Structure 1
């Protein structure tokens, strides 16, 4: 999983608040397969806990786990957090007992973990016929939050996986089908909206952890170029009012562990 340093950069809760509506969709998808009231549920790579808290509000017995202590601490201070057991740990190697959970959920979290390790761990944690539900970003041909990074710093280093692979129906089915049945994929769009260009650039430079970390690893010249490229990429999405807004595609996936 990405290092704690990256996820504690900036202000992750600024991101978490914006993707919280997706967490509700993930929990709803899980609930359609397994009644949540009284269910043992784990929110893997829980971030600041939106999915965990949504599940607890529906009566689930919830454990929220994330590798970044700073994010777990924020989650534990939120309203309703007393109903959740919070843990710091790796989503792909939780150390929790096998067969402990009826449901596993994740909102834009486990997509950053080695997929083979993560699927194996979810399979181990779930009871027979347990439910998995999670969200993932879908690759977009025009992404103003990502394209400028490639333009200035080049494409990311080649590795065995990337987060948006989980947004590809063929890839995610190939990963889940050996152990899971009834794979359901629902596509949707998240609207990113900022009151001004300055607010959008502040979000990228000071709040979004992945972007903050990107700026920090760049040299001063690259930082200036990044700021310029982000502004150029966002400019077509600026409305007459000054608001900057665009949509990002994502999927909500649910499946049932084969008994």
Structure 2
């Protein structure tokens, strides 16, 4: 993948992409395709466009799905896992993701799922993805041994990093607050609601924003009232 500047985009693509919403673009090696990331103001998220230079048009969802990579299954013996890789476009944003389902070779059970954006110059290797997932799989046992302050610090760090990543991708930082985030947190700590208010207060101090405003945004986006938890 080679990075492209806005001025290097085909004229037909420039007509579709506003400079204010442009984030980045890449030409795909050995292909006539161009991938463009823009800010979708309605969604408040990063949207992905795929353009065919030979056809001089943006590809539809159906056309993109027709040329997506083929999924595969590989065995990583030294890590004791079997990994199935699939590809899917995120609904609404059309960002293409590489999705991994990781199984234990010995027990045949699912160890975990992982994913990463497919069209990015900063992709992790499959082995790195698996190692990280294995660490996450074993992490709850370590987490149980921490005291309350250590647990709060951990979640504040997680939320801070997620919010920064969302903001850098063109979305609103508060968009990380949703029900799926809470479900993931509960998988690690079933009693996470006992810590959430302290986590948000500490996060607000780090980001130098109003604690009450952050709490209200959290409650509005997740549908959970911290006062009743």
Q: Normalising to structure 2: TM-score of the pair?
A: 0.29
Q: Which has the higher contact order (CA 8 A, sep 6+)?
A: 1
TM-score between the two structures when normalised by the length of structure 1: 0.27
Is the radius of gyration larger for structure 1 or structure 2?
Answer: 2
